[in-house]
Amino acid sequence: MTDPAGAPLLIVDEGEVEFNAIRAQGAGGQNVNKVSSAIHLRFDIAASSLPEDVKERLLALHDSRITKAGVLVIKAQQHRTQEMNRLDALLRLHELVNSVAQAPKTRRPTKPSYGSKQRRLASKSQRAQTKALRGPVKD
């Protein structure tokens, strides 16, 4: 499978993911205190079967869901059923993994063109002339 840009999609093996059912927060009436419908998904990045470069990019993300031990924790509680929250958490995990699946392009430094240099210098001199006219009037 590939994404719309043509890059291959990475699929995380469900055996590497740990699910814990917890009680959801917030409003929900009588049901919220009795049913554990929210899901905590835990995914150990270092111990996973993902390619090494993808693991490195995942661990380098400045994401509050990734612990210092390298475990990704996703909490899903939008839906009323445990199964829907489980699917939502897995979908969010796949989106995060696939967001770093393709290596970023390396930037190649370029030089400004001759025309862009000339335009920059012309605008600088125009601005300097405008400011010079603001000075005191000389007789």
pLDDT tens string 37-91 = 888 999 988 888 888 888 888 888 888 888 898 899 999 988 888 899 999 999 9
Structural domains of the chain ordered from first start: 14-99 (3.30.160.20)
Other Cβ atoms within 10 Å of 67 Cβ, number: 12
pTM recorded for the entire structure: 0.68
Backbone dihedral region for residue 99 (phi beyond 0: left; psi -120 to 50: alpha; all else: beta): alpha
pLDDT tens string 8-17 = 678 887 888 8
Q: What percent of the chain has pLDDT over 70?
A: 89
In the structure encoding, which two tokens stand for residue 11, read together?
Answer: 């699929």
